[in-house]
Amino acid sequence: MSQSDLLERARRLFPGGVNSPVRAYLAVGGDPPVMARGSGAHIWDAEGRRYVDVVGAFGPLALGHAEPSVVAAIQRAAAAGGPFGATTEAEIRLGEMITERMPRVERLRLVNSGTEAAMSALRLARAATGRELIVKFQGGYHGHSDSMLVKAGSGPLTLGIPGSAGVPQAVARQTLVAAYNDPDHVEALFKANPGRIAAVIVEPVAANVGVVPPAPGFLAALRDLTSAHGALLIFDEVITGFRVARGGAQELYGIAPDLTVLGKIIGGGLPVGAFGGRADLMNLVSPAGPVYQAGTLSGHPLVMAAGEATLKLLSPPVYEHLERVGARLEAGLARLGVARVERVGSLLTPFMRDEAEYAALHGRLRQRGVLAPPSQFEAWFLSAAHQDSDIDLIIEAAA
C-alpha cells in the first residue's frame, strides 16, 4: 500500500495521524514516513526506501534494530507464556543487572514508561520529605504527567507550546522552573521557598532541547544544594541510562542521586520504565510502604527478556564503539561548518542557526537516505550497529 494511503488512514484514526506528537513532522514539514522494518542501523519505509537511522526510536535501541539475540530472547519469552500477575525470575535478573551497573539504585520498581517512572519518583519524593514543591529545569522533559508539563522540552518545545491545556493551575504551581546549568537559580529557589522543596529533578545531560552537556560543577552543585536543604536529587536517566556510560550519567560524572528514573534501553525497545535509588526511600513504596504504585503489565516477561539481552551485550568495547562513531559524526558535521555540534558519547545534536535551517538539513538528509530526528530539539541517537560507512554516508548527505 502506498505511503500516502497509509497516512490517510492514520489521519482518520489518530489525532494528527500519530500516537506521539513529534512523529507528525510538524517542525520539519513534509509527510512523515510510515515505517515497515529495521535491521541494525537501517530502516525501511512502507514503500521500501532505505534510510540510515539516527532517530533510533528516540533512545531505546542502543544495539540497533532487530539485534538477533534480542529477537531470540523475546521469541523465547513469548513462547513461555505470561504475563502471570506474579513475579518471574526474568524481573529479578534484569533488576540485578541494573543495580550492579548503577549501584546507587539499591532497590527499584519496574514500570511501563518513562512518564510513569518520573511521576512515581516525584510522588515518592513528596512522601519522603513531606514537602510539595518540585524544581525542574526549563526544557527538561520528564514525560507527560501533569506536574512535568511546565516549560517542558521534547514535543511541547517542538510544537512551541509552553505547557499543556488541561493541567490544573494548582498542580502547575507546585512545579518551579530553573535555568539548566545555572545553580545560582536553583539556590535562589531554595532561599525563596524554605522547607518547601521536595526534590530537584534533572536530566544529567539535557537531551530534550537538543543535547546540552552539564557545565562543569553543575551536577555537583545540585547535589550540594539538595543535601543542604533537605531535598532529594532525582536524576532522570531515561535517555542517558546505560547509553552515555555503562553506569549511566551518574557514573560518567561521579554524582550520586537519591533517586534515578530509567526507561528506554532497559526495555531493549519494548515499553518500559523504572525508578529506584536509596533503599530507605524505596521502602516507602507500596506494599513495603505508604506510597501507592502498581501496574498490570509491570515487569512483563517479553520486556524483561529484551532488556536483559540488550544490557548483556552492552559491554565496555560497545561503549568504546559508541564513543568512536559519535566522535566521527561530530567531527564530520563540524568540518562542514553548518552547525555547532554538542555531544556526549552516542548522543548528539547539530545545532543549526534556526529551526528553518534544521528543517532544511533534515530534508536534505532524508532525500539522501538518512533519517534524522524531525526536530532540532530531539537528540540524534547512534547505536552499536552504526559503522563508519553509515557515519560517512550521513556526513556526505549533510554536505
Cite the active site residues.
Answer: 141, 236, 264
- 3-state secondary structure (DSSP) of residue 292: coil
What is the layout of strands, in order, in the sheet containing 273-277?
Answer: 107-111, 273-277, 259-263, 232-236, 197-202, 133-137, 175-178
**Which CB atom, from 118 or from 394, has the smaller least distance to ligand PMP?**
118
What is the layout of strands, in order, in the sheet containing 380-381?
Answer: 340-344, 347-351, 380-381
Asked if 390 interacts with ligand PMP (CB under 6 A), we say no
Pick from 209, 223, 210: nearest CA to 253: 223
Region from 25-33, 113-121, 219-227, 312-320 binding ligand PMP, contact rule CB under 6 A: 113-121
The secondary structure of 347-359, three-state, reads EEEEECCCHHHHH
Asked if 263 interacts with ligand PMP (CB under 6 A), we say yes
Asked if 142 interacts with ligand PMP (CB under 6 A), we say yes
Asked if 208 interacts with ligand PMP (CB under 6 A), we say yes
Minimum distance from CB of 194 to ligand PMP (Å)?
Answer: 29
Site string for ligand PMP, 146-185 (x = CB under 6 A): --------x-------------------------------
Binding ligand PMP by CB under 6 A: which of 238, 274, 291, 371?
238
Asked if 262 interacts with ligand PMP (CB under 6 A), we say no
The CA distances from residue 271 to 58, 141, 239, 371, in Å, are: 13, 18, 14, 22
Asked if 114 interacts with ligand PMP (CB under 6 A), we say yes
Torsion of CA 207, 213, 217, 222, to 10 degrees: 0
Region from 27-35, 109-117, 219-227, 329-337 binding ligand PMP, contact rule CB under 6 A: 109-117
Asked if 109 interacts with ligand PMP (CB under 6 A), we say no
Judged on CB neighbours under 10 Å (0-12, 13-18, 19+), 364 is middle
Binding ligand PMP by CB under 6 A: which of 67, 203, 308, 390?
203
What is the distance between the alpha carbons of residues 44 and 384, in angstroms, rounded to a whole number?
19
**Which CB atom, from 197 or from 207, has the smaller least distance to ligand PMP?**
207
Asked if 239 interacts with ligand PMP (CB under 6 A), we say yes
Minimum distance from CB of 230 to ligand PMP (Å)?
Answer: 25
Binding ligand PMP by CB under 6 A: which of 67, 91, 236, 390?
236
Q: Which residues, at least 6 apart from 172, have a Cβ–Cβ distance to it below 8 Å?
A: 146, 147, 149, 150, 163
Where in 270-289 is the site for ligand PMP (CB under 6 A)? Answer: 273
Minimum distance from CB of 30 to ligand PMP (Å)?
Answer: 23
Asked if 213 interacts with ligand PMP (CB under 6 A), we say no
Asked if 298 interacts with ligand PMP (CB under 6 A), we say no
Binding ligand PMP by CB under 6 A: which of 51, 137, 141, 380?
141
The sign of the dihedral angle between the CA atoms of 121, 124, 129, 131 is: positive
The residue count for binding ligand PMP (CB under 6 A) is 16
What is the distance between the alpha carbons of residues 385 and 108, in angstroms, rounded to a whole number?
30
Q: Do β-strands 370-371 and 50-53 pair in parallel, antiparallel, or remain unpaired? A: parallel
What is the distance between the alpha carbons of residues 344 and 334, in angstroms, rounded to a whole number?
15
Asked if 267 interacts with ligand PMP (CB under 6 A), we say no
Asked if 113 interacts with ligand PMP (CB under 6 A), we say yes
Region from 103-111, 233-241, 319-327, 333-341 binding ligand PMP, contact rule CB under 6 A: 233-241
Angle between helices 301-313 and 68-79 (to 10 degrees): 150
What is the distance between the alpha carbons of residues 6 and 173, in angstroms, rounded to a whole number?
42
Q: Give the phi and the psi of residue 303 in degrees, each rounded to 5.
A: -65, -45
Binding site for ligand PMP (CB under 6 A): 58, 113-115, 118, 141-143, 154, 203, 208, 236, 238-239, 263, 273
